[in-house]
């Protein structure tokens, strides 16, 4: 099976403390460390496991600058066969549809039976998989936490509310967005990355993909981030006082406001 996995480089939230920069135009980028988006990593692991079972190849693709190449190498160290870097200044500030249409152009250059994305990213909107599938007119399932191959079809589990799994049958080719926990991604150490350091990674530009620069990037974006700000939260614990009943009532109001009572 020929599998394409769309990945992106994202700040590693577990290892960062996210704050907003001075003028509120972005998060504070100084001191950030990046890695592959966690969900995408599960998608790549799943693709590799499928390949190990039924054969074929795994290609990882990302859109970004030259720094994005490191995530491709990381995923290739895991076992992806090929990496493609899509890079063009014209792609900067693309909205979800922009990204999806760039990926669509890349996908149409190849022939893939299965296209995987991560279900979401910490700095994203969980939209690329669904958009891509619609653009390619392929069936789609989101939040996939189980994939079984059954001939020309897949049986996929979706993780839905209440820890319940929704089982669907889906025709190939298709697009799936992968939820964390579907597998246990393997570890990639420095050594693994060094092993693939010299593998050539092709870079595709807007021109290579036959894309109209005005349809993507800033000019093509209908959805734009205007600014960043820190949502209001208090400093340290506010100690509630009063009788137990009074405290309980105060607390209930606070909990309701924060979605703490369902």
Restricting to residues 120-149, name those near other proteins by CB under 8 A.
122-123, 125-131, 133-135, 138-143
Site membership for other proteins, residue 247 (CB under 8 A): yes
Degrees to nearest 5, angle at CA 92 with 88 and 96? 115
Is residue 151 involved in binding other proteins (CB under 8 A)?
A: no
Under the criterion CB under 8 A, does residue 108 sit at the interface with other proteins? Answer: no
Residue 165 engages other proteins in binding (rule: CB under 8 A): yes
Q: Which two tokens stand for residue 174?
A: 């298709």
Which span (54-62, 86-94, 96-104, 201-209) binds other proteins, by CB under 8 A? 96-104
177 vs 40, 89, 121, CA distance in Å? 9, 27, 11
Q: Contact letters (x/-) for other proteins, 45-74, by CB under 8 A?
A: ------------------------------
Task: Give the bridge partners for 121, in sequence order.
Answer: none
Residue listed under structure tokens 């590799």: 48
Q: Select from 55, 149, 189, 205 the one that contacts other proteins (CB under 8 A).
A: 189
Told to check if 166 binds other proteins by CB under 8 A, we report yes
- Pull the structure tokens for residue 209: 């993909």
Report the residue from 19, 148, 207, 214 that binds other proteins according to the rule CB under 8 A.
19
Residue 196 engages other proteins in binding (rule: CB under 8 A): no
Q: Would you put residue 187 in left (φ > 0), alpha (ψ -120 to 50) or beta?
A: beta
Counting contacts by CB under 8 A, is residue 23 touching other proteins? Answer: no
Buried b / exposed e along 197-228 (16+ C-beta atoms within 10 A): eeeebeebebeebebeeebbbeebbeeeeeee
How distant, in Å, are the alpha carbons of 98, 104, 210 from that of 214?
10, 16, 12
The residue count for binding other proteins (CB under 8 A) is: 96
Opening angle at CA 100, ends 95 and 104, nearest 5:
150
Give me the 202-241 binding string for other proteins, x by CB under 8 A, dash otherwise. --------------------xxxxxxxxxx-xx-xxxxx-
Applying CB under 8 A, does 182 fall inside the site for other proteins?
A: no
């Amino acid at each position: 099976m020929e599998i394409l996995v769309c990945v992106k480089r994202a700040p590693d939230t577990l290892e960062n403390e996210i704050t907003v920069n001075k003028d509120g135009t972005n998060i504070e980028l100084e001191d950030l460390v990046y890695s592959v988006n966690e969900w995408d990593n599960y998608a790549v692991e799943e693709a590799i496991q499928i390949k190990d079972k039924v054969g074929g190849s795994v290609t990882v693709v990302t859109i970004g600058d030259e720094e994005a190449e490191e995530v491709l190498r990381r995923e290739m160290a895991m076992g992806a066969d090929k990496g493609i870097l899509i890079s063009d200044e014209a792609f900067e500030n693309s909205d979800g549809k922009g990204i999806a249409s760039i990926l669509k152009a890349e996908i149409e250059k190849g022939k893939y039976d299965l296209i995987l994305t991560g279900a979401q990213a910490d700095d994203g909107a969980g939209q690329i998989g669904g958009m891509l599938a619609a653009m390619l007119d392929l069936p789609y399932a989101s939040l996939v936490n189980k994939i079984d191959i059954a001939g020309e079809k897949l049986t996929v589990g979706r993780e839905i509310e209440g820890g319940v799994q929704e089982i669907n049958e889906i025709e190939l080719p298709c697009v799936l967005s992968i939820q964390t926990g579907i597998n246990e991604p393997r570890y990639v150490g420095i050594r693994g990355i060094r092993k693939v350091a010299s593998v050539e990674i092709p870079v595709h530009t807007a021109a290579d993909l036959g894309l109209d620069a005005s349809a993507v990037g800033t000019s093509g974006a209908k959805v734009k981030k205007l600014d960043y700000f820190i949502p209001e939260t208090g400093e340290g614990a506010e100690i509630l006082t009063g009788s137990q009943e009074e405290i309980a009532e105060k607390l209930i109001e606070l909990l309701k406001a924060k979605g703490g009572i369902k």
